[in-house]
A = this chain, B = another copy of it.
């Protein structure tokens, strides 16, 4: 039969990264494509002990829970956020199935067909997919290495009257960018002035290579607690399989998102939420994150060593200050989508940059992930990749 799907499905796009991942998983390809955290460092003992505590806490812990999520975990997150300079309280925190769900639910309550969402360019591709699935007109704001260009931002706020502005100010996906403090403050000033909301996505903020530097979140400047929705996740710092993220912001917005969530799934796994509560309470998560920082820095530097072997000027990148990605630009005439087929044939994969662009895609860019592959795999994979890159570009 002919299944006449809803009109909105015409705006659905499958994640090309996930499609690539599916292909890769079958073969002998070393993948720098996915945004996966390092498995070797998963704190399995802590997670195991946490589940034991949940199961020991009795039958009532296995019952249906609140849509908003397990209250003691929301209290724990509230404390955790204090250390990041973000004032919140459990009543303004919604637990979600990963921060992906926070982006989805916020979009569902905010975006009507044709509404404008402002984003960086490039930005997180699954967020773009969500916005577009609701019929959003995604408009990208010009920027440089310090963040969005305030003049272009103001001009587009005035002209497009956006429903909200989506940003990843700390170690962005895909380009690892870190916004300057001034740009963060200026963004918020403009949002106050024109009454626009910010959705601040911060999955990678904890993975900073220099611990002495503080990257204040945009939310930490929102003293009125009216204009910023801040979302983060434990997928990068504990384990992804727990699928637990959260979002905090103005009470009225969080309440509307809870109502939306009730329809989507009643609530996320409360066993996992309870386990995370025990992880936060009993495990040295901060110490664990320090370990991640060191290991990811080592892997990034190792990967960069290989890039340094390329002919100077043919490929450029900025050494990331944290996060999980190296973002590389080739010469103007390079097409990294074509290059990917060649790379996969040689046994290595990356993500072509075009997918991350809301507008004006640059075909000569690509993203490398250094958190997932072991140093051995980085050596092997980068050897392969460098040989492809050396052949693939005019020297």
Contact = CB atoms under 8 A, between A and B. Distances in A.
Interface of A: 1-9, 12, 14-15, 18, 34, 36-37, 39-40, 42, 44, 47-48, 51-52, 55, 58-65, 67, 96-98, 100-101, 104, 108-112, 115, 126, 129-130, 133-134, 163, 195, 197, 226-227, 235, 239-243, 250, 252-253, 256, 259-260, 262-272, 274
A89 to B, nearest CB: 18
B44 A6 contact: no
B241 A133 contact: no
Given A42-B62, A62-B42, A104-B263, A109 B241 contact: no
B109 A5 contact: yes
B240 A62 contact: yes
Given A262-B14, A267-B243, A3 B272 contact: no
A1 B263 contact: no
A108 B134 CA distance: 11
Nearest to A66: B22
B12 A39 contact: no
Given A62-B240, A259-B14, A271-B272, A98 B266 contact: yes
Contacts of A15: 262
Given A2-B195, A197-B3, A269-B272, A101 B264 contact: yes
Contact of A269 (B5, B226, B242, B262): B242
27 contacts: A1-B250, A2-B195, A3-B250, A3-B252, A9-B259, A12-B259, A18-B67, A37-B63, A47-B55, A62-B241, A63-B240, A64-B241, A97-B264, A97-B265, A98-B265, A98-B266, A100-B263, A100-B266, A104-B265, A126-B262, A126-B266, A129-B262, A241-B271, A242-B271, A243-B265, A269-B272, A272-B272
B104 A5 contact: no
Nearest to A70: B241
Nearest to A260: B12
A96 B264 CA distance: 10
Contact of A265 (B5, B55, B64, B101): B101
Nearest to A101: B265
Contacts of A253: 3
Contacts of A104: 263-265
Contact of A55 (B44, B62, B269): B44
A178 B45 CA distance: 48
A164 to B, nearest CB: 10
A115 B58 CA distance: 45
Given A55-B47, A101-B264, A60 B34 contact: no
A259 B100 CA distance: 14
Given A12-B256, A39-B63, A44-B59, 5 more contacts: A37-B63, A40-B59, A48-B52, A64-B241, A271-B271
Which of A97, A265, A272: most chain B Cβ within 10 A?
A265
Nearest to A235: B64
Contacts of A110: 5-6
A265 B100 contact: yes
Contact of A264 (B47, B111, B227, B264): B264
